[in-house]
Amino acid sequence: MEREELSSWLRLSLTPGIGNTAGRKLLAAFGLPADVFRQTPDALGQVASDAQVQALLRVPADLPRFIDQTLEWMHGADSHGATRRILTLGDAGYPASLLETADPPLMLYLLGAPAFDLTRLDRSIAIVGSRNPTSQGIENARGFARAFGQAGITVVSGLALGIDGAAHEGALEAAQGSGRCATVAVVGTGLDRVYPAKHRNLAHRIAAQGLIVSEYALGTPPLNQNFPKRNRIIAGLCSGTLVVEAALKSGSLITARLAAEQGREVFAIPGSIHSPQARGCHALIRQGAKLVESVNDVFEELRFDVAAPAAARSSGPGADAADEPALLRELGFEPVSLDMLCARTGHSAADLQAKLLELELEGRVARLPGGLFQRVALG
């Protein structure tokens, strides 16, 4: 992209009071951003408010500096081999799936695998969920993402702590060494920073083998209002959205609602009736989301023609029940207290604590807040 073209797009996207909706109206009326800025105040006033017209007529004093910074970022070398690109609403490479939504961004900043083409993201699934998941939720997200990846399905999520991070990890594991795009992360900051900082290494791995996407200009900090807004992009890029775990007020439910409004499928994994992190999923299922127990449930609904690997499951042990420790059978898959286990098994608390610790170290049991224990299905 040449400096003059980039300048006009940046100026439009950064003009105070001109959001995506007003920007699209101006583009529809006049053509490219450069054409917008050639208009008279009277012409602009036909499609914009007086305040917006005044803002459009002012050239921000720091625009040249910001253009220089953006061009420097685009042309700079990335230590992880990723390429840096900007897509505008007028580019042929802009994803059609986003154009079909109610609020497509004017610009998309991309950081990732050189060969990845967003226009070919026709076999993709969003995986979202709680930032404070249970151990079972983490295992489910990672297992489902791995299974999707092994079937050639791109996993899209938001790089947040919890379920998002586990989904990206599972997809990266599936695509390791394959040379194809593993996963897409849609973030709520500028691409010159990583949030949360704990995911810095994960973000670098995604940039090397997948793609990181943002509609926000370079330098944009992690503002609270940006994260719910970016969820429409996560939902809009995909054929469907899978919610792994979510409380009733989770941001993941925003993504699910946006997916439904965009005519995309919504899936939810059920959980324990005692778990607050399952209530959002149960609410979605009551509202019509498809209950999911395996990746095959998703493939069938979306009509993905794949030779699916052994399905990741949200419940039920991966091994034959006859081969599992008796304590695991007594645990079941509901959270349970030590006192309850003592009553079920007839063993002493000290004996059970030793056995539970061993199973916990093996990753087969999780210790929950409030002195509860829960079995982890390993898929």
Neighbours of 263 (CB within 10 A): 8
Q: What is the dihedral of CA 346, 348, 354, 357, to 10 degrees?
A: 60
Q: Please tell me the predicted confidence (pLDDT) of residue 235.
A: 96
Amino acid making up residue 154:
T
How many degrees, rounded to 5, is the angle at CA 254 between CA 333 and CA 312?
35
Q: Please tell me the predicted confidence (pLDDT) of residue 307.
A: 54
Q: Rounded CA gap, 313 and 311, in Å?
A: 6
Q: Rounded CA gap, 119 and 131, in Å?
A: 29
The residue assigned the tokens 């059970």 is: 352
Q: What is the 3-state secondary structure (H, E, C) of 317-377?
A: CCCCHHHCCHHHHHHCCCCEEHHHHHHHHCCCHHHHHHHHHHHHHCCCEEEECCCEEEECC
Residues 60-71, buried b or exposed e (16+ Cβ, 10 A)? eeeeeebbeebb
Per run of 10 residues, the mean pLDDT along the chain (length 379 residues) is: 89 93 96 96 96 94 91 82 90 90 95 78 92 91 92 94 97 80 92 96 93 96 95 96 95 95 95 90 97 92 68 42 68 80 84 85 80 76
SS3 230: helix
Q: Please tell me the predicted confidence (pLDDT) of residue 330.
A: 80
Token reading at 228 = 């719910």
Q: What is the 3-state secondary structure (H, E, C) of 71-91?
A: HHHHHCCCCCCCEEEEEECCC
The residue assigned the tokens 């208009």 is: 39
Q: Rounded CA gap, 231 and 95, in Å?
A: 16
Please give the distance of CA 69 from its chain centroid, rounded to a whole number: 27
Axis-axis angle for helices 251-261, 276-286 (nearest 10): 10
SS3 120: helix
Q: Decide if 237 contacts 183 (C-beta within 8 A).
A: no
- With 0.85 as the threshold, say if the pTM is over it: no
Token reading at 42 = 């009277």
Axis-axis angle for helices 251-261, 226-236 (nearest 10): 40
